[in-house]
Amino acid sequence: MLITNMEVPWKLPHIILPKPASSSMRPQGAVRRGAIKSTLKEELQEKSDGSSEKGDEVGEEKLSPEEESASEPVNLEVIGTNTGPTMFRLPSQDSLSGENTVSEEMLAEEARKKSKEEEAAAKERAAQRQQLAIEELVQSERNYLRMLQICSVDIRSSLQQLQPPLANLDRLFLYIEDVMEVSSRLLSLLDRRPSGEPQFLQTLCDSFLSLSSDIEAAYKEYLAYYNQISIVENSYKQKEALWNEIVRIIKASAPEVNASSLSFFLVMPVQRIARYPLLLQTIQKHTDTSHPAFKLLEKTALTSIALNCRINEYKRFREVADKYKKTETLTIKDKINRLNPHSIAKKTARFSQQLKHETGIKPKLVDEEFDAFEGFFNILEHGILVLLENVETYLLHLQRFLDCRTEEFDLDMDGEKSPICYKEITTALRQWILPTFEKRMRTLIHKPLCALRDLLVGPRNLIRKRLDKLLDFEMIESKSTLSYDEQAVANTYRTINTLLLNELPRFNGLALQMIWSMLGTFSCMHKDLAADMEQLFQSFAQQLPHSHLHPSAFWEWAESAVLESAKKLQTVCQNVEDTLNAPVVQPLSPSSQRRLKQLTDKHGSGKIYQVASTVVGSRDLDLNLARGELVAILSEADTRGDKRRWLVDAGGRRGYAPSSKLIRYHQAMEDPPPSPHLIVPLDVTGKRRHSYTPESQPMPMRVVRQPYFQVIAAYDFTARGNHEVSLRVGEPVCVLEPYDKRGNREWSLVEAISGQRGYVPSNYLSMKPVEARPPGFVF
Amino acid sequence: MSVTSHHSFCLSRIPFKIGQPKKQIVSKTVERDFEREYEKLQKLEDQTKKLHKDMKKSTDADLAMSKAAVKISADLLSNPLCEQDQAFLDSITALDTAMKRMDAFNQEKVNQIQKTVIDPLKKYSGVFPSLNMAVKRREQALQDYKRLQSKVEKYEEKEKNGPAMVKLHQAKEELRPVKEDFEAKNQQLLDEMPKFYQSRIDYFQPSFEALIRAQVVYFTEMYKIFSELTDQIDQGGLTDEQRQRETEAKLTELRALSIVADD
C-alpha cells in the first residue's frame, strides 16, 4: 500500500505530461491504456507486460463501446465487495492487487477507517489529477497553437524575405492554416468557460465532438502531405549556407524553445492529433464514472481514437496512390539502371500473362464494375483532350483575327461617314470587346480545361498500375498459401483496385460536370459577345446614309453599286491603257513607204524592223544601214547560229545586221490590221475584253500619228445575213471594231465604201500602204 | 529634271546620255502638280493594297474561328461520352445545332463581304499597274522629247548653210510627233489622275456600309441563337467570379481525391 501510494506522486507527472515523442510513437498503447479504466499499478504492469489478459480484453472493448459499458458492472461488483457501494478505483484496485491475506478484524477495522480517510484523500487527489489533466489539454493546445503561429507567421515571413527566394516555400505551409484554424476554434470554444468550473468537462467534450469532423478533415490532409514537407526541408538542408541562415531565423524567431529545424514546428500537428486520445484518456482515468460527463468523455475519447484510425487509413491509401499515380520522368539511363533480374522477371511474367489472356489460354479476371468506370474514364479523357485542342485552335484563330488591323487604313476619306464608322467599330471591337471575350475564354474555359487535363494523369497511371498488379495477382491468386512478398502484391492490387472503385466514379462525375458547365459558359460568353457586338454595330449602322433601306433593298443597292463602280473602273483602266500606251509613230518618207510596201508584200508585216541607230558594217556580209531605215528579217541568226547577227533584207540588199540595233516597226496599235498572218499578243486580248463597249473608248486626246494604211478586202465575201456585209476583192473598208460583240477576233465590224456596216471574217481583210490619204478611210 | 531622280519609275532604259535642252519643256507648276497627283495615287495604291490584304486575312481568320467553334461541338457530339447521359447528349446536340447555325450565318456574312468589300478592293488595286505604266510611258515620251529638242537646238545654233538646214528640217520633222505625243500623254494624265483619285469616295462608300450592315445581321442572329442556347444549357445569371469559384471548387474536390496527383 505504501508502495502504491508512493507510486502515485512518482507516476503522476509522467502521466500528466507525457513526452510528445513517446505519445505519438505509441498511440495504440495510449489508447489501450486509456480504454481500460485501469489503475496506475495496472498500467505499470501492462507497461512491463504488453500481453496481459486485461489488455487483450480491453482491446475488444475499444472496438465497441457497448461491450465496454457492459463489462463495467462486473468490475464494479468485484470492487464493491471490499470497498462498499462507492467505487474508488485507486484504493480498491490496491486492495485487489495487494496482499489480501490480511484477515485480522482489527486490521480490517483499521483498514476500513483508513480507507475512508484514504477515500476522501483519493477523491481529492483524483479531482486534482482530473483538473490537472484537463488543464494540461487546454494549456498544451494553447502552446501548440502558439508554436504553429510562430512558425507559420514569424518564421515564414522572415523566410519569405530571404534572397534569393526559397523554392517551394509555400508548400511547407500548405495545410498548416487549416490545422491552426481548427485549433483556434477549439480553443475559443473552450475559453467560453473557465477551466476550473465543474461543467468544464462537459464543454470540453462538446467542443471536441462538435469539431471532430473538421479536425479530421484538417489533419487528414496535413498528415498525408507531411512527407512533402520533409522533402522540401531536406532540399534546404542540402545547401549549407542557406540552411544555416534558416536555422538562424528559427532561433531568432523562437528563442524560448530550442528549435533547430523547421520540422521541429511542422511535425507538431502530426504529434498533436495522436495526443488527443492520450490526453482525453488521462482525463477519463481521473474522472469518476459517476461524473455527469463521464459517458460523454468516454465517447469523446473513442471519437479521438476513431479519428486517428481514419486519418491513418487515409494516409495509407494516399501513399499507395502517390506511389503509382505519378508519371515518372526517368531518363533512358535511369531506366536501364533500374532494370534488374527482379524487374525483368516481373515484366516478363506480366507480359506472358497478358499474352495468355489475348490468346484465350487463360480467362481474364473480369471486373465489370471496374471496366465500366475505366471505359468512362477513357472516353472522358479523350473528350477532354480533344476539347482542349479545339479550344486552343479557336483561341489561335481569335488571336489571328485580332492581329488584323483592319481599321488602320487611310483612303483619305475622312469626310465620309461610313469609313469613319467602320474605323470606330473596329477599334472598339479590337481593343476591348474581343480582348475581353478572349480573356474570359481563357480564364473560364481554357485554364480550367488545362487543369482538368493535368488531373487526368493520376488516375491514368493508377489504372495502368492496377492492370500490372492484376496480372501479378492473377498468377498467385490460386495459390493456397502466399509468401510474404506475394501477400504484399495481393494487398497492393486490392488497395489500388479499391481506391479506383471508390474514387473513379466521383472523378468521372465531377469532370463531366465541369465540361458541362464549361459549355454553358461557352454559350453564355457567345451570347454576351453577340449582345455587345450587335449593340455596337447597330448604333453605328443607324448613322449610315442608307440605313433607311430594308436589308434586301440594301443588299440589292450595295451589290449593284459595287458592280457599277467596277464597270467605271474598267473604263478608266481601258482609257489609260489605250491612249497612253500607244507608241509614237514617226511619219515615213515616200521612199521608206515604198520600201515598207515592198517588204510587207514580200515578207509580211510581222517581219518588218526599223534600224535604231546608224549601223556601219565591220565584217563580211555586214550591211551599212542608216538610222530609221526599214528592213525585213530573214533569219534571226547568222550561219554559225550567232543570234546577235540577223540576216535582213534591206529592200534588195541582203546581209547581216546587229540584232541589238533593230527594233520592231510598230504599226498602229488601236486597229492592227486583222490579216490572217497577224499574231495578236495574248495579253492584249485579255485587257481588251470589255473594250467593245462603245462608250468605253472615248479618246479625246488622240493625236497619235497613224501610218498611211488602207484596209482592203483580200477576197470576195458574200453576206449571209443582214448583220454581215458583202465585199469585193480589193475594196477598201473602214474597220470599226476588229472583233465581234463577244470580243471574238475572227470577225470584224467594218464599213464598206457604200456606207453599209456589218461583220466580215477578219482573215478576209488585208491592208496596203497608201500614198495619198483617201478621206474617211484612214487609220 | 527632278522628277526622274526620286520617282519610282526612274528610267534605267535610256541607252545614251540626253542633252539637256535650253527651252523649258514642262513648266515647274505643271511638273509639281503632276508629282503631287501621282504621289497621292501611290499612297492610295499602298493603302488599298494593305486594306485588301488585311480584310482578306481577317475574313480568313473569322471563317477559321467559326469552323473551330463548330468543331468543338461536333467532336463532343461524336464522343461516346454523350451516349452515357441523355441530358448531356441533349445539351451537346443543342450546342452543335447552334454552332452550325452560327457558322452558316457567318458564311453568309463572309460571302457578302467578299462580294461587296474584298472583290471591289481587289479590282481597285488592279487599276494601279496600268496607271503606273502610263506614267512611265509619259516619262519616256518626255525623255524623247528632250532629246530631240536639244538636237533641234544644236542645229539651230550652227551656221545656216545648206546641209545644216536640211538636218535642222529633218530634226524638226522628227520632233513634231514626239512633242505631240508627250503633250497628249501629259495632259491625259493630268486629267485622269485627279478624276481617278476622286472616284475612290463613291467607289468605297457602299463597301463600308455593306461591311457594317453585314455584321449587324450576323450578330443579331447570333444573339438570338445563343440566348436560346444559354437558356437551355447554362445555369443562368452567374457572374464570372461565381463561375470561377464553382470551377475552382470542383477542381479542389478533384484534387482532394487520393487517385489524383496534385503538383
Secondary structure, 3-state, A28-53: HHHHHHHHCCCCHHHHHHHHHCCCCH
A442 touches chain B (CB under 8 A): no
In percent, the amount of chain A with pLDDT more than 70 equals 75
Q: Does the structure show a pLDDT above 80 at A441?
A: yes
**Tell me: the pLDDT tens digits for A529-557?**
999 898 888 888 888 888 888 888 888 89
Higher pLDDT, A636 or A699: A636
Residue A287 DSSP class: S
CB atoms within 10 A of CB A376: 20
CA distance A711 to chain B (A): 23
Q: What mean pLDDT, rounded, does chain B reach?
A: 85
CB A254 within 8 Å of CB A154: yes
Asked if the model's pLDDT at residue A335 lies above 70, the reply is: no
CB contact under 8 A, A559 and B68: no
Helices and strands of chain B, counted as H and E runs? 7, 0
Contact B79 A379 (CB under 8 A): yes
A683 reaches B (C-beta below 8 A) = no
Residue A7, helix vs strand vs coil? helix
Task: Find chain B residues with C-beta within 8 A of A688's C-beta.
Answer: none
Higher per-residue confidence, A770 vs B92: B92
Q: Do A534 and B216 touch (CB under 8 A)?
A: yes
B201 alpha carbon, distance to own chain's centre? 15
Segments of A716-774 assigned E as strands? 732-737, 747-751, 757-761, 765-769
Considering A45-54, A324-333, A383-392, A680-689, the range whose residues carry the highest mean pLDDT is A383-392
Most confident of A587-601, B13-27, B89-103, B235-249: B89-103
A215-261 per-position pLDDT tens digit? 999 998 898 888 888 888 888 888 888 888 888 988 888 888 888 88
What's the pLDDT band for A363 if we cut at 50, 70, 90? low
Higher pLDDT, A466 or A679: A466
**Which residues from B are below 8 Å from A562, CB to CB?**
115-116, 119-120, 206-207, 210
- A406 lies within 8 A of chain B by CB: yes
* Interchain pair B184, A380: CB under 8 A: no
Query: Do residue A386 and residue B226 have CB atoms under 8 angstroms apart?
Result: no
Which of A142-146, A168-172, B38-42 has the least mean pLDDT?
A: A168-172
Closest by CA position to B184, among listed B116, B138, B123: B138
Q: Which residues of A touch B136 (CB under 8 A)?
A: none
Average pLDDT across chain A, whole number: 75
What is the least distance, in Å, from the CA of A486 to any CA of chain B? Answer: 24
Nearest to A587 among B177, B250, B254 (CB): B177
A520 contacts chain B (CB < 8 A): yes
pLDDT, residue B159, reads: 72
> Does position A442 have pLDDT exceeding 70, yes or no?
yes
Q: Say whether A557 and B206 touch across the interface (CB within 8 A).
A: yes
Q: Which residues of A touch B213 (CB under 8 A)?
A: 541, 544, 551, 554-555, 558
Chain B residue numbers touching A544 (CB-CB < 8 A) = 209, 212-213
Question: pLDDT tens digit string along A35-63?
Answer: 334 444 444 444 444 444 444 444 344 44
**Which pLDDT belongs to residue A590?**
65
Predicted structure pTM score = 0.56
Model confidence at A709, in pLDDT bands (50, 70, 90)? low
Is the predicted pLDDT of residue B61 greater than 60, yes or no? yes
Contact criterion met (CB < 8 Å) for B230 and A517: no
Contact A156, A173 (CB under 8 A): yes
Shortest distance between the Cα of B118 and any Cα of chain A, in A, equals 11
Residue B77: its pLDDT value, please? 92
A459: closest CA among B222, B80, B254, B229? B254
Q: Tell me: the pLDDT tens digits for A635-666?
A: 888 888 888 888 898 887 888 988 888 877 76
Nearest Cα residue to A743 out of A777, A681, A683, A693: A693
Between A83 and A570, whose confidence is greater?
A: A570
| Closest to B196 in 3D by CA, of A412, A161, A726 | A412
Closest approach of chain A CAs to the CA of B215, in angstroms? Answer: 7
Q: List pLDDT tens digits, range B164-209.
A: 778 888 888 888 888 888 888 888 888 888 888 888 888 888 899 9
In the prediction, which pLDDT does A434 show? Answer: 92
DSSP state of A367: -
Please state at what angle helix B162-233 crosses helix B28-78, rounded to 10 degrees: 30
Q: Give the one of B200, B229, B247 whose C-beta lies nearest to A413's C-beta.
A: B200
The enclosing H or E element of A261 equals: none
pLDDT at res. A64: 40
Per-residue pLDDT band for A9 (boundaries 50, 70, 90) equals: very low
- Of residues A519, A573, A580, nearest to B185 (C-beta): A580
Condensed to tens digits (0 to 9), the pLDDT of residues A473-519 reads 887 877 777 788 888 888 888 888 888 888 899 999 999 999 999 99
The ipTM assigned to this model is 0.85
Q: Is the pLDDT of residue A600 over 50?
A: yes
